[in-house]
Structure 1
Amino acid sequence: MKTIREIYSMNPSWKFHDGDITHHNIDTVHKQFIHPEWLKSGNNGLAYASYNDSQWSSVNLPHDFVIERGVYDSTTLSCTGSLKKGICWYRKTFDIPSTDNGKRLFLQFDGIFRDCEVWLNGCLIGRHLGGYMGFEFEITEAVAYGMSNTVAIKVDANEYEGWWYEGGGIYRDVRLLKTSQLRIVDKEIFVKTQSLDLENKQASLLISGLINNGSLDDDSFQLDIHIFNSKGKEVFHQLTNKNFKKYTSSDFTLEVILNEIDLWDLNSRNMYTVKISVKSTNGYDEYSTEFGIRKIKYSSEKGFELNDQTVKIKGVCGHDDFAGLGVALTKPIIEFKIKKLMEMGCNAYRCSHNPPNPIFLELCDKLGMLVFNETRMPGVDQDSMEDYINLIKRDRNHPCVISWSMGNEEMAIHRTEIGVQIFQKMMAIGKLYDDTRPYLYAINADYDNIIDYDRSKNFVLNPVGVNYFVHHDDDVFASMHKKYPDLCIVNTETTGICTSREYVLPYDDANLMAATTEKITVWTKPEFKNKVTCYGSCYPVWAMSPETSWKVHAERNYSAGLFLWTGFDYRGEVFPFDYPATISFFGLIDLCGFEKDWFYYMKSQWTDEDVLHLLPHWNMNLPEKSKVNVWTFTNCEEVELFVNGKSKGRKKCEKYGHVEWDVLYEKGTLEAVGFREGIEILRDKKITSKNPEKLILTGNRTFLLADNTDAIIVTAHLEDSEGNIVITSDESIEFEFTGPCEFIGTGNGNNLSSEHDKHPSRKLFAGKCIAIVKSTYTAGTINICGKWKNITSTLQLNSEETNYLPFVPSVSASEIATKEKTSADGGF
């Protein structure tokens, strides 16, 4: 009887302890030592089912303990969000049936921040350094079959890897994998497109992989490979036989020709599935993975091409962070973020500056988002190289990935012999595992001189990734092109302006400026010095407006495109301020997913939709007749502005530009009318609201799936009697939830806020706040209630039954997986 591969979610029902635990000698040999796990195998008392964790809190994964703790500290680096980090422990006790004896078992972790130790039934299973790359440990021999088993995980998040908020804990998914003694090694499966004939719709593929024999016996096996197209039709099938030794692995390769292929591109995200099964006298395993067939090319003549069609990269950079959740993002939140970027016209994402959640790439394949995939840090040490190789192996079947990035702004090693040696080795090793995509790293500062140096050392990157430019010389790209006509340039990071959804922050005259940033800050509007505004009138000396950046790249063929810093706000890097600022100002979208004004500039340039957006809002805390600078972002040819029905002039919008007027503030209606070829296209207006009278709740979903993961983002705002949003309201909204759901966080996007993200109440900021609610495994009616003063508003939706990944429940220890201790070697 063949053993079918089984995979279970380990996310539900963990016990959590915030802080380190000194004594691990509970019910262990050598109790006189507080850490006896290093003296005898199987000797960590925290990983015994008998350990009393009744005082620990209960949590579900993914889990960011730093955001859940929510302790802000002015002594913690403000660039990391000013949230205290630390050490914590997780435990889960679960049953493994006796029928699993003879199978192989693995724990798979998509990401733990940061350094961790994993223990099972007292035994060390493995350790992992670094917080961004997933890993797995085999636990087969440490399992007590037919009994309760306990996994205990120590997480030390004290060390930083980045200069932004990184969170802490088991912040990505965890799974239990069960296979036979014969196992297909997931990450080793690679479907490589060797050649592609677009005209004749034919592709030559090379399928490679690795089969691992965990048996004590030599064996032979039969390999069965099927390929299915995006419609589920089988388009290839082949059987083959191989031999291998006990406890060894056997690799395989297979050349395949496919005809009448369906290409993956941004509009038609056709995905194929390769299904591989292997069987022998010792077992059976089956594994499927998706892949896409597409052609990519970079050149100085056409920039970036996808399937022989030039596609200008309209990209953003981003960190894994969101209101209410910290870094513990789940699939519905990741999907929400990608779709919001696509609404702006974004078609590419640079994973800054670390490997992404695997779910992110699955969604980018599905939705049509190009990806620059980046390792955390360059290096040839064992840990760095292992993560780098595993990143390539894990993600190389994703058609959305169009480049590997080996690092970011490596100032200590670029333009040095050491740097060239490190990057040359990384690129050479990377190409052993994937030579179908280019390798680059994001160079900053005087990158023209760095490229000169690299090429003088015979280290040629093409395309080349460049970040910003301190000297603000737009002609540097033309100069580089003239010197190196073959060079294709990607502006891997640019803009970096600071903006707010509010007109101006802070509201009062408080000076929050960080002493370290005063000399590197540019103020384009002197009246707003020491403030952040909706205009983007503040930025670091190396940055520039999105308008300036886009003009440079829009029509230059040798530019593949650009990545704006950043798509979304994120915690940390609170330039130009210091604590109590906690959230960056760099995003085109805030931490809750609310659009800032520059979102609409990019939408006007990056989409074919008619766009007309007016700023600022018109609920100013200003005396009447104060001068206000009014802007519109638009792709209309002309715009006419009205204040309370009186025209303030009709102006032409220059290509890649925006339109401005200086007007005197009058409460009422600010309205813009857009024209093309003299015909009115659309209008936008801002209205001075009256006092708030109504609480409105809206959701980004109309139903949820009962899979314990699906989520809704509920937005709350106040309106006056005429239905106008009260944009300046900062009232507190209380949330309550009933039905099969779990409240998981709140937010409002206020960059200066230190409110707790896990409390079911939130102040409005710029008139809005959100609450996030997820489903459970139970279907039913969910009621989300918002309360403001004596007014209540309720949003109701259903959670519907669905298929979901089976999960491993937590249990109380039924049979303790320990044995009586003896006094051997003095262990008493």
Structure 2
Amino acid sequence: MKNFVPFTLAVILSTAAAWAARTSFDENWKFIQQEITGAERTDFEDGSWRVLDVPHDWSIEGEYSQSHPMGDTGGYLPAGIGWYRKTVEVPPAWKGKHVEIAFDGVYMDSTVWANGKKLGNRPYGWSSFAYDISELAATADSITFAVRVDNASQPSARWYTGSGIYAHTWIDVKEKIHIPTDGVFVRTKGEQVTVDVELVNRRENDSVLGVKTTILDEEGRAFAETFSRLRLEKGKHGTVQAELVVKNPELWSPESPQLYLAVNEILVEGKVVDRVETRFGFRDIEWKAATGMWLNGKNVKLRGVCNHQDAGALGAAVPDKILRFRIEQLKAMGCNAIRTSHNPQTPHFYDICDEVGMLVMDEIFDGWKRKAKEDYGGRFFNEWWKRDLTDWIKRDRNHPSIVIYSVGNETGGNVGKALVELSHELDPTRPVTSGHSASEVMDVLGVNGSSEKKGWWEQLARDKRFKDKVFIGTENTHTWQVRGYYRSQTWYRNGYPNKSQKPYETPDLTELEVFKYDWTDAEGRANGKQVFNSSYDNAMVRLNARLNIEQLRDIPHYAGSFRWTGHDYIGEAGYVHGGWPFKAFMGGAIDLANFEKDLFYLYQSQWTKKPMVHTLPHWTHPTMALGTEIPVWVYSKALPDLRWVG
């Protein structure tokens, strides 16, 4: 939380702030979903354009069609090019100040203009960024912003991304001497707090600055304070480091997510010219190869899920309240960790995780080279990765919820070592891993689906390269279920037995299939993959959820497991599910509409302490006489496994 003042734009426009002010810029954008020549010009006529508020995802508003270039990977939704425009009067409060327009996320390849002047281009759709508009604010009476979003080259990812300004926008107004965006780095060790504060002097003269740092709790009580001075030349950057001690701090954990506030005030001639508030938490973490992660002296298993950005019918522009609902829903399942697969989430995601006590594996890239035909890895990675990784870590590194970074997923290339080194330079407090990418250079060994294979643990024990590394199943396990749909016979993606997949056997529940209903007959399927998978825990790639839970619980050096996925998501409909008319992936414990599948309650029965019972649908076999006791499925805290009861 930085520079956040919850005022409306109208209030800010009429009131000069004493220090930096951040205001929402979400309302009343004009939009058109087509390529337009000259739309960046101030005098361009946009009266016929649609008026809307962002966050906005134009893809989810479109019709599904097999002809859309997103194809099965993007759920058959439209992509293309879109333009946004917005004109505002420049208020007196902006004059003579440092002013920026900031975007939390635009998918993808966005270019921004102000009064016809190009401010910049940002290809990566998952980065947050800002542009300096101070000169225009000083000289112009009004500013017309134009944003061109180019998501026409498809497929641009291996899953549904959405299109447009899918996250919040802001106007930041600061004094000429100020703390730049993401210019504060807070870290703790025991009772010690170290705060690095970056400063910039945009004045026409050198200045002597005072930097006051105060540590507050959530009730506003001060616990520590320090003050230092710095002479900063005009046009230069500088850094001040504050060292503070907070006696007996309350520690941040998933069970007790206690937060504190580092308040940095910049004073010139005794007047506060900037004030930045940064939330953080006290927590001590150790990573041990033999036992995994230790949080505040307690060995904690990462009971995790992977999740993409979209929220079903809401697309990628997920409302804040729905984002919070989904995170809290996963926590109610017993999940304590989320992997941001395979890109950073919007900034508000991490705020919520801090508040509710959800651990995060923060991931930035899917590939370091091409994986989808027109993706960032193939088109922009080599030129942009250093900038994107730097902005990502500086944005996210103060969040206590983030315990580990991931820099890639099932990708390759020699850049892995450089990614790890830059991550360490920007934040030496967290280890770096990947999903099965350049594993030898990672701090923590992360392995995706192959870690599910039968015999894998024995293989790991023989591999001397990783004997001193913590292991995490970064994408483990893969089971697929449709809510309310059942089969009594086991299903494997590649059949059983399969020598390459090496699956664990899950016996059939009955010799003959007792459920006869289906979504269509054989003639209605385009291919054999187009099946609904059973909501019982008997549809998988290599192992079921029950065995995965047992392995995580019983193997000491198994630090964490991130199932694929927490929620179902749009896209990736062809690889597993055979494509049209299938449009989404059914791997979640929760479906696209946020309804819990039976799998949710299986995890809840094993991962939470609160008493619970969940009864699954039962059936009557044709051979049963009237009055026969009918078997049912039960998940319960009292039972160590899924089983029959009469």
TM-score range, shorter chain: 0.7 to 0.9
Change (3 A) 1:353 1:552: same
Are 1:84 and 2:78 an aligned pair? yes
The answer to whether the Cα contact below 8 Å between 2:127 and 2:388 also exists between their aligned partners in 1 is yes
1:104 equivalent among 98, 122, 131: 98
Number of equivalent positions: 580
Alignment correspondent of 1:400? 401
**CA displacement, residues 711-743 of structure 1 (integer Å, 9 cap, x when unaligned):** xxxxxxxxxxxxxxxxxxxxxxxxxxxxxxxxx
CA shift for structure 1 position 257: 2.4
Corresponding letter in the other structure for 1:548? L
Alignment correspondent of 1:433? 426
Aligned 1:207-218 pairs, distance under 5 A = 207-218=195-206
Alignment correspondent of 2:118? 124
Are 1:503 and 2:485 an aligned pair? yes
The answer to whether the Cα contact below 8 Å between 2:94 and 2:138 also exists between their aligned partners in 1 is no
1:253 equivalent among 229, 236, 241: 241
2:445 and 2:426 map into 1 onto residues whose CA distance is 21
Alignment correspondent of 1:683? none
Aligned 1:611-650 pairs, distance under 5 A = 611-616=612-617, 632-635=633-636, 637=638
1:59 and 1:133 map into 2 onto residues whose CA distance is 22
Aligned 1:658-677 pairs, distance under 5 A = 658-660=642-644
1:605 and 1:128 map into 2 onto residues whose CA distance is 44
Q: Secondary structure at the match of 1:632?
A: strand
Are 1:337 and 2:347 an aligned pair? no
Are 1:7 and 2:22 an aligned pair? yes
Change (3 A) 1:530 1:65: closer
Alignment correspondent of 2:496? none
CA shift for structure 1 position 181: 0.6
Q: Which moved more, 1:173-182 or 1:627-636?
A: 627-636
CA shift for structure 1 position 135: 0.4
1:134 and 1:514 map into 2 onto residues whose CA distance is 41
Are 1:301 and 2:255 an aligned pair? no
Alignment correspondent of 2:355? 366
Alignment correspondent of 1:592? 593
The answer to whether the Cα contact below 8 Å between 1:47 and 1:91 also exists between their aligned partners in 2 is no
The answer to whether the Cα contact below 8 Å between 1:277 and 1:285 also exists between their aligned partners in 2 is yes
CA shift for structure 1 position 280: 2.5
Alignment correspondent of 2:545? 546
CA shift for structure 1 position 378: 5.7
Change (3 A) 1:288 1:471: closer
1:510 and 1:333 map into 2 onto residues whose CA distance is 38
The answer to whether the Cα contact below 8 Å between 1:2 and 1:283 also exists between their aligned partners in 2 is no
The answer to whether the Cα contact below 8 Å between 1:221 and 1:242 also exists between their aligned partners in 2 is yes
Alignment correspondent of 2:214? 226
Corresponding letter in the other structure for 1:258? V
Are 1:273 and 2:257 an aligned pair? no
Corresponding letter in the other structure for 1:659? R
1:624 and 1:122 map into 2 onto residues whose CA distance is 78
Q: Secondary structure at the match of 2:405?
A: strand
The answer to whether the Cα contact below 8 Å between 2:568 and 2:588 also exists between their aligned partners in 1 is yes
The answer to whether the Cα contact below 8 Å between 2:102 and 2:131 also exists between their aligned partners in 1 is yes
Change (3 A) 1:257 1:531: closer
The answer to whether the Cα contact below 8 Å between 2:101 and 2:133 also exists between their aligned partners in 1 is yes
Change (3 A) 1:98 1:479: same
Aligned 1:618-767 pairs, distance under 5 A = 632-635=633-636, 637=638, 655=640, 657-660=641-644
Alignment correspondent of 1:20? 35
Aligned 1:195-210 pairs, distance under 5 A = 195-196=189-190, 203-210=191-198
**CA displacement, residues 394-425 of structure 1 (integer Å, 9 cap, x when unaligned):** 11111110101011111xx2xxxxx3x41111
The answer to whether the Cα contact below 8 Å between 1:612 and 1:632 also exists between their aligned partners in 2 is no
2:347 and 2:263 map into 1 onto residues whose CA distance is 19
Give identity over the alignment, percent. Answer: 29
1:70 equivalent among 63, 66, 80: 63
CA shift for structure 1 position 539: 3.9
Alignment correspondent of 1:151? 145
Corresponding letter in the other structure for 1:190? F
Q: Which moved more, 1:349-358 or 1:504-513?
A: 504-513
1:430 and 1:438 map into 2 onto residues whose CA distance is 9
1:315 equivalent among 279, 290, 304: 304
Change (3 A) 1:338 1:536: same
Q: Which moved more, 1:212-221 or 1:166-175?
A: 212-221
1:352 equivalent among 322, 341, 345: 341
1:471 and 1:2 map into 2 onto residues whose CA distance is 56
Change (3 A) 1:629 1:152: farther
| Larger Rg over CA atoms | 1
1:149 and 1:471 map into 2 onto residues whose CA distance is 55
CA shift for structure 1 position 553: 1.9
Alignment correspondent of 1:476? 456
CA shift for structure 1 position 279: 2.6
**CA displacement, residues 649-692 of structure 1 (integer Å, 9 cap, x when unaligned):** xxxx5x3x3114xxxxxxxxxxx67xxxxxxxxxxxxxxxxxxx
2:473 equivalent among 460, 466, 491: 491
The answer to whether the Cα contact below 8 Å between 1:355 and 1:374 also exists between their aligned partners in 2 is yes
Alignment correspondent of 1:566? 565
1:438 and 1:355 map into 2 onto residues whose CA distance is 17
2:86 and 2:204 map into 1 onto residues whose CA distance is 31
CA shift for structure 1 position 630: 6.1
1:228 and 1:217 map into 2 onto residues whose CA distance is 33
1:533 and 1:378 map into 2 onto residues whose CA distance is 32
Over aligned residue pairs, what C-alpha RMSD do you find? 2.7
Change (3 A) 1:285 1:512: farther
1:115 and 1:483 map into 2 onto residues whose CA distance is 42
Alignment correspondent of 1:34? none
Corresponding letter in the other structure for 1:131? G
Tell me the TM-score normalised to structure 1 length: 0.66
**CA displacement, residues 335-366 of structure 1 (integer Å, 9 cap, x when unaligned):** 00011101111111000000111111111110
Q: Secondary structure at the match of 1:68?
A: coil
Aligned 1:28-43 pairs, distance under 5 A = none
The answer to whether the Cα contact below 8 Å between 1:107 and 1:175 also exists between their aligned partners in 2 is yes
2:462 and 2:182 map into 1 onto residues whose CA distance is 42
The answer to whether the Cα contact below 8 Å between 2:451 and 2:476 also exists between their aligned partners in 1 is no
1:182 equivalent among 169, 174, 177: 177
Corresponding letter in the other structure for 1:189? V
**CA displacement, residues 256-305 of structure 1 (integer Å, 9 cap, x when unaligned):** 22222121111221111111111326981111111111011121332211
1:354 and 1:511 map into 2 onto residues whose CA distance is 39
1:480 and 1:629 map into 2 onto residues whose CA distance is 44
The answer to whether the Cα contact below 8 Å between 2:618 and 2:632 also exists between their aligned partners in 1 is no
Alignment correspondent of 2:386? 385
Alignment correspondent of 2:278? 289
1:499 and 1:279 map into 2 onto residues whose CA distance is 58
Alignment correspondent of 2:514? none
Q: Secondary structure at the match of 2:61?
A: helix
1:317 and 1:238 map into 2 onto residues whose CA distance is 41
Alignment correspondent of 1:648? none
**CA displacement, residues 454-473 of structure 1 (integer Å, 9 cap, x when unaligned):** 3xxxx3x3421111128822
Change (3 A) 1:146 1:539: same
Tell me the TM-score normalised to structure 2 length: 0.84
Q: Secondary structure at the match of 2:223?
A: strand
Are 1:173 and 2:168 an aligned pair? yes
**CA displacement, residues 102-141 of structure 1 (integer Å, 9 cap, x when unaligned):** 0111001000000111111111111111100100001111
1:190 and 1:479 map into 2 onto residues whose CA distance is 41
